[in-house]
Amino acid sequence: MIIFKKFYPPNLLLALTCFIVTGCSFDAKELYLSDSYVEAFSSGWGKAKADSSVTGTPLMIDSVLYLKGIGTHAISEASFILDGQKGRFKAFVGVDDNAQSDSASSIIFYVLTNKGVAFNSDVMKKGDKPKPIDIELKGVTELFLLVESTSDGIGYDHADWADAKFIVRKAPEIKLAEVEEPYILTPPPAAKPRINGAKIVGASAGKPFMFNIATTGECPLTFTAENLPEGLMLDVAKGLITGVASRKGNYLVPVTAKNSRGECRDTIEIVIGGGLALTPHMGWNSWYCHQTRVTQDIMQRSAKAMYDKGLINFGYTYVNIDDGWEVKANSDDSLLGGAVRNADGTLRTNKNFPDMRGMVDYIHNLGLKAGLYSSPGRTTCAGYEGSLGHEDQDVKTYCEWGFDFLKYDWCSYSNEVKHPVSLEDLKKPYILINSIIKRADRDIVLNLCQYGMGEVWKWGKEVGGHSWRTAGDIGWITPELINSMFTAGFFQETIRQYSGPDGWNDPDYLLFGSIWNWQEGRDTQSPMSPSEQYTCMTLWCMMAAPLIFSGELISLDDFTLNILCNAEVIDINQDKLGKPGYGVHKQDFTEIWKKELHDGTSAIAIFNKSPIKSTVTVDWKAIGYSGKEEVRDIWRQQDLGTATNAAEFEIPRHGCMLLKVK
């Protein structure tokens, strides 16, 4: 018997194997992400890395070692364009074993295509077994790989896309982020007066008081105020209330603003002896646009811009110097170096600030308040003189200069304590500075800048803070600003119970307009898209966070003004109830938040966290409404009718809607 054996060439055998195993056509090829597509990934707090985790070691998930793959840090995203032909995407995903925390590292992996959500890992933590991904690519023209953080923040969120590869005929292309042109939603202010901003303000008895009745409308305006506490007076042309009130109490002060187009009536509640920060702070800080290049001239021109461009009319109040005004010991720069203190220990400014008292007077004369920066350590973050051992003298100097706000940055104080740092050590410098400020002859709002250590939101108010940073600087890796903004912002919901009148969770500054690019050493426009900037402002307002802008004020453009100066949006932030918002619906990339307001209405924010435009349908009954309520679009300042008739919204990539429901 003659037996005939079929013979297949080696390349054909390989093709058949590929077809049987993967379902691909015979000329499919394997393309590992780590070989060709590392640059496709945006990654929060640092770049994605091929064949290594964020810590620089090989990828390992639950003790399984992977030779190929990409490690990122939540939040991260990669986008691809495919040809829609048959193929597969395969990977294993999980939290890398080198994440330093078992409890804090938790993330969700998604694969999203033009067809919808193709994979959702659910929450994964360190130690969980890797989860396989195997997705058929027939008909897929867009594919997105996403890592989302969960409610515990982004600490140790080391996400591995292990053995991740495309098995396709044609290599996918990296989908570049579309350039979104700025679009202005905020209508211009009406000619008729409108009183904006905070409707409740606090001060200590027996200390200087200043409050500007923030008002838009055609000038000139005239103001009236009734029932002012004894010792306070109103400048009827400026709408500025000043003086010293000696008697504690809550005073309801009816105010009016009038011009040739009409008048606006409202009530300001003045609280003497009951807290200094009864609504979140609003203002500007020099750091993210000027850093240590800041000067007295820049500060005064910025204050003038806040006045001239009308931010003061929406409630923006503080003009704050950040690091760089002190003397820097051992500096070779003749403007910065020299003796850090006088012979009696009094703090000195560097030569960029020749007349600190004159600068503060200039700011106050505009109806604004002035803030500055220091550290409880020997030096500030940038190496300038700190306050250690001179706290009493420094607060006395701040008061003599006339400052109203102090950002107190942990920085080099880390060198003064044992490690690991105890909760007692974390509290100590803030307890000290607060006790001194309370004895001072003027009110100073205290911001604790210590990056969220020791869950500061649980004790920040206890040690005298009026606000406290809940995480690190969101803008220190400028290209990844959107990731850190999303992370810092949405994390606030989990700690909302610790935030309220006279003590606010602070996720960092609003980085719109022109900011300093740390990586490239140059000024640049905010890397956030227009929609992402709307989302940031909306999120900060919903969480009742301080609205401290840190982009360039002097050259402020119309789009950035539109983001910063929407009176109805600011009303949500400055609502006197002071209650942060919270999620009422979450599904994949859609979050709906609710924020109760003092007048019985509520704000509803709809966030589209996906990388593509989405249509979101709101089930009003599922989130507690009958459907008969009146709905208003706050950004556009337009009434939309009843909730039933205003239920479907098309929202851009990373965009939002902000509604008021009554």
pLDDT of residue 51: 67
> What's the rounded mean pLDDT across residues 156-180?
91
Residue of 51, 97, 152, 473 marked active site:
473
Q: How far apart are CA 412 and CA 409, in angstroms?
A: 9
Closest CA to 369 of 121, 548, 144: 548
pLDDT of residue 563: 98
Least confident of 26-35, 161-170, 257-266, 652-661: 26-35
The dihedrals phi and psi of 169, each to the nearest 5 degrees, come to -80, -45
> How does strand 369-374 pair with strand 405-409?
parallel
DSSP helix/strand/coil, 616: strand
Q: Is the pLDDT confidence value at 652 over 60?
A: yes
Q: How far apart are CA 421 and CA 377, in angstroms?
A: 15
pLDDT band at 8 (very low <50, low <70, confident <90, very high): very low
DSSP secondary structure string for all residues of 196-233: -S-SEEEE-TTSEEEEE--EESSSP-EEEE-SPPTTEE
The question of whether 473 is a catalytic residue gets the answer yes
DSSP secondary structure string for all residues of 390-422: -HHHHHHHHHHHT--EEEEE-GGGGGGS-SSPP
Using CA of residue 251, residue 497, residue 430, residue 354, what is the dihedral sign?
negative
Which residues are CB-contacts of 63 (< 8 A; sequence separation ≥ 6)? 97
Number of other CB atoms surrounding residue 152 within 10 Å = 18
CA distances from 74 to 41, 83, 483, 485 (A): 11, 28, 8, 12
Would the pTM count as exceeding 0.85? Answer: yes
Please give the share of the chain, as a percent, with pLDDT higher than 90.
83
The question of whether 409 is a catalytic residue gets the answer yes
Beta strands in 296-435 (DSSP E): 318-320, 369-374, 405-409
> What's the rounded mean pLDDT across residues 103-116?
86
Closest CA to 408 of 387, 383, 393: 387
Residue of 96, 322, 404, 409 marked active site:
409
Token pair recorded at residue 588: 């994949």
Token pair recorded at residue 220: 């000139």
The pLDDT tens digits of the residues spanning 351-406 come to 999 999 999 999 999 999 999 999 999 999 999 999 999 999 999 999 999 999 99
Token pair recorded at residue 174: 């990296």
Asked if 426 and 454 touch (Cβ cutoff 8 Å), the reply is: yes
pLDDT band at 12 (very low <50, low <70, confident <90, very high): very low
pLDDT band at 15 (very low <50, low <70, confident <90, very high): very low
pLDDT of residue 3: 32
- Ordered by where they begin, the domains of the chain are 10-174 (2.60.120.1060), 194-272 (2.60.40.10), 282-573 (3.20.20.70), 582-661 (2.60.40.1180)
Token pair recorded at residue 602: 């509520």
CA distances from 215 to 237, 260, 261, 265, 633 (A): 12, 14, 14, 11, 22
